[in-house]
Structure 1
Amino acid sequence: MLKGMFVVPDPGRLRLRSASRSVLGIGLAVLVVALTGHPLPAVITGGLAALLALFTVTDATVRGQAMTTALLPAAGLPVLALAAGLHDQPLLRDLSFLAVASAGVYVRRWGPRGHALGVFAFMTFFVAQFLHTVPAQLPGLYSAVLLAVLASSAVRFGLWCYERRLAPPAAPALPAGTGLARTTTRQAVQVAVAGALALALGQLLSQERWYWAVGAAWWIFVNTASRGETLVRGFRRVLGTVVGIAVGLLVAVPVHGAAAPTAALVAVCVFGIFYTAAVSYSWMMFFVTVMVSMLYGLLGVLDPGLLALRLAETGVGALGAVIAVALVLPVTTHATTDAWIQQALRCVHRCTAEAAARLAGSTTADPAPHVTELAALLGRVRMSVAPLVHPLSPMRARKARARQVLALLDDCAREARGLAAVAADPAASHDARLAAACSRVEAAVLALASPDGVLAPASAQGLAVAIPAQRQHPGADAALTHLHGLERALTDLATPLRTSPRAPLVAA
């Protein structure tokens, strides 16, 4: 399993660069805070602030990333003051924590910036509970946060700003609804319920470490959109925590807070968090758990009983999330998956239209951006169907259906990439056969479109290109091959998409 993790494709070595830069940025932040005479709690707070600044800020442009990073203290420092001020008022503290948790999810409606600010605010309240922060500590913690954000920003935007040479990443999203139909509004309500359940059960386990349950429930809702996604994420969080605690017993307990080995192991954990976050939530949680174990050892409070309590609190938080997502405004895996599939099919349509126009002689048509968008959408489809294809899923018919859909969508993506490559060749030509093939692809997409999501007429116009004369050319033959492949894949998709999810799967 570990070997498989480190051979996962890393195009452009982006994960490697992100993880390496994060170790450097967080290490510099911790060093600056420590050298300026701050006590250990402030150093830990500064390190967390740097980690969040590097981990959560994902705006599409460097300018946007810099602006979001600059806003992080404005979101976190007032929350830190609130948490410290309510330290001795448990009821108000608990209600405020739930309000911050719910608001941290609600602000995701404003995209990556809202997500980053919401995470920073929530984690600031969380770390105040972790360190038992009181008002007298606020000046030191404020300066630690500001210094850490500045130091990590010097690395991200100065010393190692590789994003300036990269195209903005694709960020697919489903159309936003209104009211409780909007994902962020619905999840804000679910998080409030899940947090309340986790808080109540967590305090039954421990009056000192209850906040771990709330944190576990809150993080399970990140990057999920359906009931099934949330269940799988909860399972993966618990799995990563179990393995991390086992390693913590073997590593963190013997180290017992010794400065040099703790710093080295925390650096390894930071690298692991950033390197695995995009591909495995379980491995990310493993590294988070080991890192937290090392920090507890640094604070001098680590023992096997504390690690066992950490596991119990995580389980309670996952249970709260499962109950909330199952009973409060639930959204089924099928509904979410179908919405992402429809988005992917429309993207196939746009890619085909642009390629056809390019082959017909248009100098402005370009299918390449749609190929990139399609890859991102297929990633969302895979995430959505993860509950159905999970090894522990008992629904064999739905599992087989989901796997067939994924395979056929992968075929579509492969043919779309090939078609775009042919269209990009300036020597490629066009003949009248392409018009008929493009029309059949368009018809296949329209046949798969949901009744309430028919393609707009304007989006289909690109396929109806005028062909002045019939010509033969190898470029046209290659394009036809890809168009025929697309047509076959789209036609075969009708079987799994247009029959009952529970019906036995019949081969196309």
Structure 2
Amino acid sequence: MLKRMFVAPDPGRVRLRFAGRAVLGIGSAVALCGLAGHSLPGAVTGGLAALLALFTVTDATVRGQAVTTALLPVVGLPVLALAAGLHAQPVARDLAFLAVVGVGVYARRWGPRGHSLGVFAFMTFFIAQFLHAVPGQLPELSAAVLLSVATAAAVRFGLWCYERRLPPPAVPAPPAGTGLARITTRQAVQATAGAGFALVVGHLVSGQRWYWAVGATWWIFVNTTSRGETLVRGFRRVLGTVIGIGLGLLVAVPVDGAAVPSAVLAAGCVFGIFYSAAVSYTWMMLCVTLLAELLYGLLGVLTPGLLALRLAETAVGALGAALAVLLLLPVTTHAVTDAWIQRALRCVHACTAEAAARLAGTEGADPAPRVAELEALLGRVRLSVAPLVHPLNPMRHRKRRARRVLALLDECAREIRGLVAVAADPEASHDARLAAACWRVEAAVEALTGGGAVPERAEREHAAGPALAHLHGLERALAELAAPLRTRTPLGLDQG
């Protein structure tokens, strides 16, 4: 886990920029809330709003990101008002919370914008429970949200808009469907049921901190699709919380709410959350847990007993998520994994075709966006296969097959990147052998995704140029993928 965190590749230092900008944006938002005379609860609310504005907005274009950011308060402030207004009516408040959970997850069917708005709606309701907000606090809390989102936007789109200098990220949509066959619909039902379980049991554990259990269930469902992914994410959330609590006993409890060290440590936690999010959910949860402990220290309620309670509520939330995905409209790991692998293979062919067209001199041919899409799809494949390659998975044969598939897909990506780099060279020219090699790649992809026979790859020419060498490497990787992908046992945790 430690090695993965610090040696994971960071092309273009995107993760480093992501984390650095977050510290600047959130720190500026909290500072401005303080200068505006807001209380500590107002500053905490503003800091969370800025964090969400910088963390959850993932539209493919800068313009799309700006529109989504502008919509966050439009969705969040009515939810905040609802949560505060129902503070004295526990039953109505709890039912409203579950409704926000269901609608927030269902909104993911509308892509990154729906996802961002759903998360913001949920977290504004959550922060109202965290701060025990009442209607009299609404003007201050609402002003803090507006000020902080505006500050985060000024940093993201003005002061530090590194996206303008990078290709827009490709955000693959989940596999499609209709009705209950649509994954987002099933997840909305599952998340609402899991959150209902967490809410009831969380109340039994603590009448004051029950919302921690609901929050744990919610975040376990974020960015997962199958039941295997959800179970692994739940395990990692509990593990990150345990480690974070242990670290909190050594760091947050001794600090005891002192302003300056708490602020410095909180900035470090924010950096860790953003820097680790793409590579390690466990590390991210460690940082989230420590940040929450520091905030409770500032509020003057941090004790070892409170940390033990947080662990118990997190375990309840993880159990709720696990029961929901196992018993209610389950989405199998094999079905999801197969869908992502097929999309990745089709993207491999699209990348190859674009690169070949570029080498042939076709005007407008640009494989770079396809490469970005391929990287995003491979990220989804890794997430989907994570349950199978997890150290606790006892099915060693499937684990070996899954690792082999991942290795060969990574090899395809490396050859594609090399091919695209060659195609970008203005000195590169079309070779007659490229057309034949591209045809074989197309045929191999069609065979792997359609069930036909994978064509035999040609012998590698001794005098092959760089582009042809990459195509031969791609042919070899695709040919070797046939065996692990066509084994009769499903490539997943499930049998169907």
TM range (shorter): over 0.9
- Residue 169 of structure 1 aligns to a residue whose secondary structure is coil
Contact 1:430 1:473 in 2 (8 A): no
Give the residue type in structure 2 aligned to 1:480. L
The CA distance in 1 between the partners of 2:433 and 2:260, in whole Å, is 69
The CA deviation string for residues 14-61 of structure 1, in whole angstroms up to 9 with x for no partner, is 111121111111111111111222221111111111111111112222
User: How many angstroms does 1:371 deviate by?
Assistant: 2.3
Structure 2 CA distance for partners of 1:189 and 1:424, relative to 1, 3 Å: same
User: Does residue 1:500 correspond to 2:488, yes or no?
Assistant: yes
User: How many angstroms does 1:70 deviate by?
Assistant: 1.3
The residue number in structure 1 matching 2:274 is: 274
Structure 1 or 2, whichever has the larger Rg, is 1
The residue number in structure 1 matching 2:477 is: 489
Give the residue type in structure 2 aligned to 1:448. L
Structure 2 CA distance for partners of 1:136 and 1:430, relative to 1, 3 Å: closer
Alignment TM-score, normalising by the size of structure 1: 0.91
Contact 2:174 2:183 in 1 (8 A): no
The CA distance in 1 between the partners of 2:233 and 2:272, in whole Å, is 18
Give the residue type in structure 2 aligned to 1:490. L
Structure 1 stretch 259-268 or stretch 237-246: which is displaced more? 259-268
User: How many angstroms does 1:500 deviate by?
Assistant: 1.9
The residue number in structure 2 matching 1:457 is: none
Structure 1 stretch 344-353 or stretch 94-103: which is displaced more? 344-353
The CA distance in 1 between the partners of 2:275 and 2:118, in whole Å, is 23
Contact 1:428 1:473 in 2 (8 A): no
Contact 1:429 1:473 in 2 (8 A): no
The residue number in structure 2 matching 1:234 is: 234
Structure 1 stretch 36-45 or stretch 189-198: which is displaced more? 36-45
The residue number in structure 2 matching 1:324 is: 324
- The percentage of aligned residue pairs carrying the same residue is 76
The residue number in structure 1 matching 2:420 is: 420
Alignment TM-score, normalising by the size of structure 2: 0.94
The CA distance in 1 between the partners of 2:369 and 2:62, in whole Å, is 20
The CA distance in 2 between the partners of 1:158 and 1:444, in whole Å, is 46
Structure 1 stretch 176-185 or stretch 211-220: which is displaced more? 176-185
The CA distance in 2 between the partners of 1:35 and 1:367, in whole Å, is 49
- Residue 88 of structure 2 aligns to a residue whose secondary structure is coil
- Residue 46 of structure 1 aligns to a residue whose secondary structure is helix
Structure 2 CA distance for partners of 1:333 and 1:175, relative to 1, 3 Å: closer
The residue number in structure 1 matching 2:447 is: 447
User: How many angstroms does 1:431 deviate by?
Assistant: 4.0
User: Does residue 1:477 correspond to 2:436, yes or no?
Assistant: no
The residue number in structure 1 matching 2:456 is: none
Contact 1:191 1:221 in 2 (8 A): yes
The CA distance in 2 between the partners of 1:246 and 1:23, in whole Å, is 24
The residue number in structure 2 matching 1:466 is: none
Structure 1 stretch 419-428 or stretch 335-344: which is displaced more? 419-428
Structure 1 stretch 236-245 or stretch 147-156: which is displaced more? 147-156
- 1:241-320 to 2 correspondence within 5 Å? 241-320=241-320
User: How many angstroms does 1:174 deviate by?
Assistant: 3.7
Structure 1 stretch 425-434 or stretch 406-415: which is displaced more? 425-434
Contact 1:191 1:218 in 2 (8 A): yes
Contact 2:194 2:323 in 1 (8 A): yes
Contact 1:174 1:339 in 2 (8 A): no
The residue number in structure 2 matching 1:62 is: 62
Structure 2 CA distance for partners of 1:152 and 1:441, relative to 1, 3 Å: closer
The residue number in structure 2 matching 1:462 is: none
The CA distance in 1 between the partners of 2:426 and 2:361, in whole Å, is 10
The CA distance in 1 between the partners of 2:4 and 2:351, in whole Å, is 33
The CA distance in 1 between the partners of 2:214 and 2:273, in whole Å, is 21
- Residue 427 of structure 2 aligns to a residue whose secondary structure is coil
Contact 1:401 1:501 in 2 (8 A): no
The residue number in structure 1 matching 2:356 is: 356
Question: Over the residues paired in the alignment, what is the CA RMSD in angstroms?
Answer: 2.0
Contact 2:352 2:438 in 1 (8 A): yes
User: How many angstroms does 1:77 deviate by?
Assistant: 0.8
Contact 1:342 1:450 in 2 (8 A): no
Report the number of matched residues. 484
The CA deviation string for residues 264-299 of structure 1, in whole angstroms up to 9 with x for no partner, is 111111111111111111111001100100111111
User: How many angstroms does 1:353 deviate by?
Assistant: 2.0
